[in-house]
Amino acid sequence: MSKKAGSGRLRIVWRWIVDIVVIIIGSGIYALGVHSFTSPNDIAPGGVTGIATIVSSVTDWKVGTLIGLMNIPLLIAGFILLNKRVMIRTLISVVVLSFMTDYAFNAVPVYIAESGSGILAAIFGGLLMGAGLGIVYVREGTTGGTDIVIKIINRFRPEMKLGTISFLINAAVAALGYFVYKNLDVVLYAVISIFVESKVMDALVYGGLEGKFLMIFSNQPQEIAQKLLLMKRGVTLLKGEGAYSGEERQVICIAVHKNEYVKVKRIVKETDPEAFVIITGANEVLGKGFQKLDQQL
């Protein structure tokens, strides 16, 4: 085996170890949110966790145990339909989540909301669960349950954000809790928790990679392009033609971080106040000058 091949294999093994450690941490954070905030207050935060919370409230079964049992058929389906590497991560996450929810945080205080103050449990539960899910998703894993379904949907519809898919599915499950609790407040708290969870998850999964994409139409494309290059950002000049005038012109394209596009607008305004600028959000910008593409594979 060559030294280069050995180094590459070592890098793969190291990345796998890091992924597993991060997934365990993310699963633990999620479990903490369930153990300390949502479950003690009968907040069913959607998905298998929500169903487990509802069933646990009317039986002697623990939430973590129910999460593990309910995930068995979903894990089997996942191993058939999804990437095996993803499902191995998911299996580890489910085991960790089930164990930690029931046993790992017994010494951690549990927040019991007084009548009418469940919103704090919903917010903090959703915050921890969203953070845990985001961390797990970033390392190509899931926490099982409807997350497996979400992963399948996201695989075929990548333009749909994970948090949006999660919110729609989990809100439907939370609504079912009304038929058990007969308490609309608890269901509304669950919706709040799911909303917070989805926003935090999207912030972690997409926030660090989000950027802005700008298309600039100007009579001074070269001047603007030269100034933009000083930002150490790649600039692309596309050939365009006005449909009405028939005139050829260059269109400037540039991708920047969210906090840089204001500077780009300022440069364009100072160079050509008559320029026409289109600014769109980019969920992910990968490559030179941004996060490396191989870090996402």
pLDDT at 94 over 90: yes
Identify each DSSP E strand in 136-217 by its residue range.
211-217
Residue 297: pLDDT band (50, 70, 90) is very low
Listing DSSP states for 79-128 in one string gives HHHS-HHHHHHHHHHHHHHHHIIIIITTTS----PPTT-HHHHHHHHHHH
Q: Domains of the chain, with CATH numbers?
A: 3-206 (no CATH), 211-296 (3.30.70.120)
3-state secondary structure of 235: strand
Higher local confidence (pLDDT), 217 or 6: 217
Q: Residues of the chain with pLDDT > 90: what percent?
A: 24
Cα separation, 51 vs 190, in Å, equals 12
- Neighbouring C-beta atoms of residue 184, cutoff 10 Å: 9
pLDDT at 182 over 50: yes
pLDDT at 98 over 60: yes
- pLDDT tens digits for range 210-223: 678 889 998 888 99
250: enclosing H helix or E strand: strand 248-257
With 0-12 / 13-18 / 19 or more C-beta atoms within 10 angstroms meaning exposed / middle / buried, residue 266 is: exposed
**Residue 51: CA atoms inside 13 Å, Cβ hemisphere, count?**
15
Distances, alpha carbon 274 to alpha carbons 43, 115, 223, 246, 261, in Å: 54, 59, 14, 19, 18
Distances, alpha carbon 131 to alpha carbons 26, 43, 95, 173, in Å: 7, 18, 18, 20
What is the structure's pLDDT at 293? 56
3-state secondary structure of 138: helix
pLDDT at 191 over 80: yes
- pLDDT tens digits for range 24-37: 999 999 999 999 99
